[in-house]
Amino acid sequence: MATVDCRGMSCPQPVLETKKALEKSGPKGVLVLVDNPGSRENVRRFGESQGYQVDITEEEGAFHLRLKKGGAVKQEPMPEEKKGTGATEFVVFIESDSLGRGSEELGRILMRSFLHTLGEAELKPARIIMINSGVKLACEGSDVLEDLHQLFRQGVEILSCGTCLDYFGLKPKLQVGRMSNMYEILSSLAHAGKVLKM
């Protein structure tokens, strides 16, 4: 089993290195070494989505992920028409904690209004992806947490960029949804029928 040492690498490099190694090794699988919980979860989710069984141990301050062929494939479904609506799956892409340019105070009011209205709308996005200061919306102290929780309860997946959470020191303060990585974000955007950028 080949070993891929991804310690010290930031998102999305551990996933990309794992992907390359799996393409070379095939069913033999690989051993991936990472040194933080975010990379551990990103590599685990990627491996499972490709049909690999992922066993994780922690040794000498590093996470050892053994990816072996044989797990059930957990790939995201491709966008398709929602029954009876004629509409394709869409994704909301939020890159700031306020909406529009100009007054930041007004921008925060507009973002609250947008997310509240989204929760009341009939057609829901498949997921909301947050990057840069947009990740602050899903963290402790945010004015829109209740609206995001409502969307989450309605089946909307909420993804926050792990690198962005780390940059702002917010990983432990994430309150709704889950941490994601650039590989998963790119894949979600590429497969969406429509992307609303906020």
- Phi, psi at 170, each rounded to 5°: -110, 5
d(CA 165, CA 170) in angstroms, rounded, equals 5
pLDDT for res 74: 53
pLDDT for res 72: 55
Question: Is 19 in contact with 52 (CB distance < 8 Å)?
Answer: no
Domain extent listing, the chain: 2-69, 90-197
- Candidates 1.10.3210.10, 3.40.50.2300, 3.40.1260.10, 1.20.1250.20; correct CATH number of 90-197? 3.40.1260.10
Q: Which residues pair with 94 in a beta bridge?
A: 130
d(CA 22, CA 160) in angstroms, rounded, equals 26
Which residues in the chain come in under a pLDDT of 50?
75-87
d(CA 152, CA 160) in angstroms, rounded, equals 13
What's this model's pTM, rounded to 2 decimal places? 0.73
Q: Look at domain 2-69 and name its CATH class.
A: alpha beta
pLDDT for res 71: 57
